[in-house]
């Protein structure tokens, strides 16, 4: 069954906004027992060739620190055992995201040498593993938190969230344009997408214009849902909430990411059906505008 996103996002909206994307079918649990376990697994990113999956866990034992990024390799139709990536630190390493060309993984960390609390980094994908870790610099990172980096499919824009001063509220969505070397200074997304609450964990979809993101009045105290918004005349609309096939009526849903191996598919994490842990899911979508 296909659900069309047609719910108004904000109280006081004059009319329901036009659909942004159509969610197709039901969510599929990703790699149960390997990636989706009794621990908290969040933000699944799959390489363009479909052979490597990365995600992070807040509490899975066996990593280097408190938050760790994990990896599974696919052989045929089966995903292999999960192992921590070699670029984890003793601190927090989380929110991985492959680039479309598969050359880099962007992620967050509070490792020593950063510019604030959680900073944005990237690591090169090299034959047999990963290269050196690189901080994205002062134009992107601040003295506050930066979360969930993702480079757009066209490679032109970096998307992430931050609670630095200058936004509309708590965590807001930011973007920076890619240059030959690095990025321009980051700025909040233009439009009505950022509110006095928390907007975070955003992913571009295949058109490099539409985004899926998490929103809550407070990510610490309130249930988190996923929304979609698209760009019009350089500005993002307030967005529309995704249907129950994505958002559980009780548990949190966040950590969305475009599946690079199948760009018509979205990954996300959710605590569904009253479950105590966050698991990872994949679901198909279609752009409607």
Q: How far apart are CA 105 and CA 113, in angstroms?
A: 19
- What is the rounded distance in angstroms from the CA atom of residue 77 to the CA atom of residue 75? 6
**Strand (E) positions, 180-264?**
187-188, 198-204, 211-216, 225-229, 231-232, 235-236, 240-241, 253-258
217, two tokens: 């009045």
pLDDT per residue, tens digit, the chain (289 aa), is: 343 433 333 444 455 567 799 999 999 999 999 999 999 999 999 999 999 999 999 999 999 999 999 999 998 999 999 999 999 999 999 999 999 999 999 999 999 999 989 999 999 999 989 999 999 999 999 999 999 999 999 999 999 999 999 999 899 999 999 998 899 999 999 999 999 999 999 999 999 999 999 999 999 999 999 999 999 999 999 999 999 999 999 999 999 999 999 999 999 999 987 777 899 999 999 999 7
Rg (CA), the chain: 18
DSSP 108: E
CB 53 within 8 A of CB 71: yes
CA atoms within 13 A on the CB side of 155: 10
Residue 273: per-residue pLDDT: 77
Mention every residue, 6+ apart, whose C-beta is less than 8 A from residue 77. none
Place of tokens 């344009």: 177
Question: How far is it, in rounded angstroms, from Cα 31 to Cα 227?
Answer: 25
Angle CA(209)–CA(229)–CA(270) in degrees, nearest 5?
110
User: So what's the pLDDT on residue 15?
Assistant: 58
Which pair of tokens denotes residue 33?
Answer: 């027992």
What single DSSP character describes residue 31?
A: S
CB 283 within 8 A of CB 19: no
Q: Are 144 and 162 in contact (CB under 8 A)?
A: yes
Tokens encoding 243: 């249907």
User: What would the two tokens of residue 248 be?
Assistant: 């559980």
Residue 287 burial (10 A CB sphere; 0-12, 13-18, 19+): middle
CA atoms within 13 A on the CB side of 3: 17
Specify the pLDDT at position 289. Answer: 79
- Give the separation between CA 137 and CA 165, rounded to whole angstroms: 18
Question: Which domains, ranges and CATH numbers included, belong to the chain?
Answer: 20-287 (2.120.10.30)
Other CB atoms within a 10 A radius of the CB of residue 272 amount to: 20
Total-model pTM: 0.93
List residues bridging with 36 in a β-sheet. 32
Cα–Cα distance measured from residue 211 to residue 239, given in angstroms and rounded to the nearest whole number: 9
Q: Counting Cβ atoms within 10 Å, is residue 266 exposed (0-12), middle (13-18) or buried (19+)?
A: buried
As a whole number of angstroms, the distance between CA 173 and CA 64 comes to 29
């Amino acid at each position: 069954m296909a659900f069309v996103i047609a719910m108004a996002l904000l109280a006081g909206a004059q009319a329901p906004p036009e659909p942004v994307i159509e969610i197709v079918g039901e969510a599929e649990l990703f790699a149960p027992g390997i990636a989706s376990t009794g621990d908290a697994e969040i933000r699944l990113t799959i390489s363009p060739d479909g052979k490597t999956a990365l995600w992070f866990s807040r509490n899975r034992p066996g990593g280097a620190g408190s938050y760790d990024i994990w990896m599974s390799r696919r052989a045929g139709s089966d995903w292999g055992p999960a192992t921590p990536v070699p670029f984890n630190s003793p601190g927090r390493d989380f929110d991985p995201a492959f680039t479309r060309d598969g050359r880099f993984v962007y992620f967050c960390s509070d490792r020593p040498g950063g510019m604030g609390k959680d900073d944005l980094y990237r690591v090169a994908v090299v034959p047999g593993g990963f290269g050196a870790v690189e901080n994205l610099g002062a134009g992107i990172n601040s003295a506050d938190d930066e979360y969930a980096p993702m480079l757009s499919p066209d490679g032109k824009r970096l998307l992430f969230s931050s609670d630095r001063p200058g936004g509309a509220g708590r965590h807001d969505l930011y973007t920076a344009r890619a240059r030959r070397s690095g990025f321009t200074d980051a700025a909040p997304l233009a439009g009505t997408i950022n509110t006095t609450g928390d907007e975070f964990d955003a992913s571009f979809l295949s058109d490099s214009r539409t985004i899926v993101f998490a929103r809550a009045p407070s990510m610490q105290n309130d249930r988190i849902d996923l929304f979609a918004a698209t760009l019009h005349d350089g500005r993002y609309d307030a967005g529309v909430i995704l249907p129950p096939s994505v958002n559980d009526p009780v548990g949190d849903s966040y950590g969305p990411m475009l599946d690079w191996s199948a760009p018509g598919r979205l990954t996300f994490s959710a605590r569904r059906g009253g479950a105590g842990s966050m698991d990872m899911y994949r679901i198909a979508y279609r752009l409607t505008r």
